[in-house]
């Protein structure tokens, strides 16, 4: 009963129960995901984009059988993720960011041999498959070195090779570029794009807008455990249509000034990003209202740098979507 959809999910929810405190333990529940519906077609490169704590990892772990949903159902190629775990696991790969999840004291080759065995890659295919994957992720020639000496980017590439050993139809990539340098991150994106071009279904989570924009066929913006917007990058970008953006570099803006900006007529969205000593204020407004003068008036007395007015980008659309949540 294989389905034409790679992934179908309806009403997925997940709460965590935690205990905090030691002398007087307090029970808390966290609603990490609050009703997610998704369908991903075969061969699609699907992005799950959202800030930290939005529920991306939790969603992925429900889809890849690591977590049982509190409510709702999900199927991978038609197989239920709660009950038909073996069928699901045969068809999926899972790669997460960060440098854990490998055996550091073994070489890359031994790591891959170990997982190839566990993942049931037929013995006669193992050698060829491992060589292919080392080539794909650019580790050929370094495979006999112990992983403990690898850089962050090399580990991440080895992780990807590991996740692909059994040629999964659906690949889950949870923030694969986290902590990887920009050059390695670009390589990584090229690899991911190549996988999708070869027919794999890829679900990628990230909190980098640009990464999702560059790679994904469709993006679900998730925040507070709910999908806030879903569409192609172009569709999401149009969410910011009819808006104008003012960017101001400033030093030491008090919170009161920011609230004042939010209250200005015509202002839709205000965000602050710290860049060292400098703060970058981004103010989105309706395009027909010129708010630049008002903004500068509110910031009177504060040391300012560059001031700029521009068309909205996908990033602004993302900020608008998450901000509205």
Partner 1 sequence: MRTLRTLLIGTLLRAKHLSRSPFEVALALVIPLVQATLAVYLFRAGDEPHRLLEAAVGAGLMGVWASVLTGSGGAIQHQRFEGTLEIIMLTPRHPVLVVLPLTAATAVTGCYALVATLLWGRIVYGIPIDLAHPLAFGAATLACIAGLGMFGLLLASTFVLMRNANALANPLDYPIWLLSGMLVPISVLPAWTAPIAAVLPTTWGARALREATVGGPVWPSIGICLALGTVCLVLGAVLLKSFERRARAAATLALA
> Which residues of this chain interact with ligand ADP, rule CB under 6 A?
16, 18, 30, 32, 50, 52-58
Instruction: Report what 106 binds from ligand ADP, partner 1, Mg ion, none; CB cut-off 5-8 Å by kind.
Output: partner 1
Residues lying near partner 1 in the complex (CB under 8 A): 16-18, 64-68, 86-87, 89-90, 92, 94, 98, 100-103, 105-106, 110, 113-115, 117-120, 123, 162, 166
Q: Please tell me the distance from the alpha carbon of residue 58 to that of residue 222, in angstroms, as a whole number.
A: 11
Output 18 or 232, the one with its CB closest to ligand ADP.
18
Question: Helix or strand or coil: residue 161?
Answer: helix
Output 96 or 150, the one with its CB closest to ligand ADP.
96
Q: Please tell me the distance from the alpha carbon of residue 259 to that of residue 256, in angstroms, as a whole number.
A: 5
Instruction: Report what 54 binds from Mg ion, partner 1, ligand ADP, none; CB cut-off 5-8 Å by kind.
Output: ligand ADP
Instruction: List the one residue out of 156, 167, 170 whose CA is nearest residue 64.
Output: 170
Output 112 or 321, the one with its CB closest to partner 1.
112
Instruction: List the one residue out of 79, 85, 48 whose CA is nearest residue 65.
Output: 85
* Binding characters for Mg ion, 6-45, by CB under 5 A (x = yes): ----------------------------------------
Instruction: Report what 124 binds from Mg ion, partner 1, ligand ADP, none; CB cut-off 5-8 Å by kind.
Output: none
Output 2 or 273, the one with its CB closest to partner 1.
2
User: Is residue 270 part of the contact set for Mg ion (CB under 5 A)?
Assistant: no
CB half-sphere exposure, 261, CA atoms < 13 A: 27
Output 53 or 78, the one with its CB closest to Mg ion.
53
Stretch that binds Mg ion, among 56-64, 140-148, 263-271, 282-290 (CB under 5 A): 56-64
Q: Please tell me the distance from the alpha carbon of residue 263 to that of residue 272, in angstroms, as a whole number.
A: 15
Output 5 or 172, the one with its CB closest to Mg ion.
172
DSSP 146: B
Phi-psi region of 262 (alpha: psi -120 to 50; beta: other; left: phi over 0): alpha
CB of 65 to Mg ion, least distance (A): 17
CB half-sphere exposure, 13, CA atoms < 13 A: 10
Residues contacting residue 284 through CB under 8 Å, at least 6 positions apart: 240, 243, 244, 245, 267, 268, 269, 270, 312, 316, 319, 320
CB of 241 to partner 1, least distance (A): 40
């Amino acid at each position: 009963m294989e389905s034409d959809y790679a992934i179908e999910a309806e009403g997925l929810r997940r709460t965590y129960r935690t205990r905090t405190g030691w002398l007087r333990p307090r029970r808390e529940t966290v609603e990490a995901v609050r009703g997610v519906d998704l369908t991903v077609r075969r061969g699609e490169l699907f992005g799950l984009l959202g800030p930290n704590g939005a529920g991306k990892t939790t969603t992925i772990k429900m889809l890849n059988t690591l977590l049982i949903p509190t409510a709702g159902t999900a199927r991978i190629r038609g197989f239920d993720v709660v009950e038909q775990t073996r069928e699901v696991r045969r068809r999926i790969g899972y790669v997460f960011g960060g440098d854990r999840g490998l055996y550091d004291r073994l070489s890359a080759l031994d790591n891959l041999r170990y997982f190839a065995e566990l993942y049931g890659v037929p013995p006669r295919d193992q050698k060829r498959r491992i060589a292919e994957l080392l080539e794909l992720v650019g580790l050929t020639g370094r495979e006999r070195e112990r992983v403990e000496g690898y850089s962050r980017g090399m580990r991440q590439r080895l992780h990807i090779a590991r996740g692909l050993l059994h040629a999964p139809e659906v690949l889950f990539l949870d923030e694969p570029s986290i902590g990887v340098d920009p050059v390695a991150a670009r390589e990584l994106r090229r690899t991911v794009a190549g996988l999708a071009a070869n027919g794999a279904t890829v679900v990628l989570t990230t909190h980098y807008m640009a990464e999702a924009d560059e790679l994904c066929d469709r993006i679900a913006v998730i925040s507070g455990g709910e999908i806030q917007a879903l569409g192609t990058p172009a569709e999401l970008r149009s969410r910011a249509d009819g808006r104008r953006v003012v960017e101001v570099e400033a030093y030491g803006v008090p919170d009161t000034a920011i609230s004042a900006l939010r209250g200005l007529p015509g202002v839709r969205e205000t965000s602050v990003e710290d860049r060292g000593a400098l703060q970058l204020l981004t103010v989105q407004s309706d395009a027909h209202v010129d708010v630049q003068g008002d903004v500068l008036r509110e910031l009177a007395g504060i040391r300012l740098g560059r001031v700029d007015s521009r068309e909205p980008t996908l990033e602004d659309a993302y900020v608008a979507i998450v901000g509205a949540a």
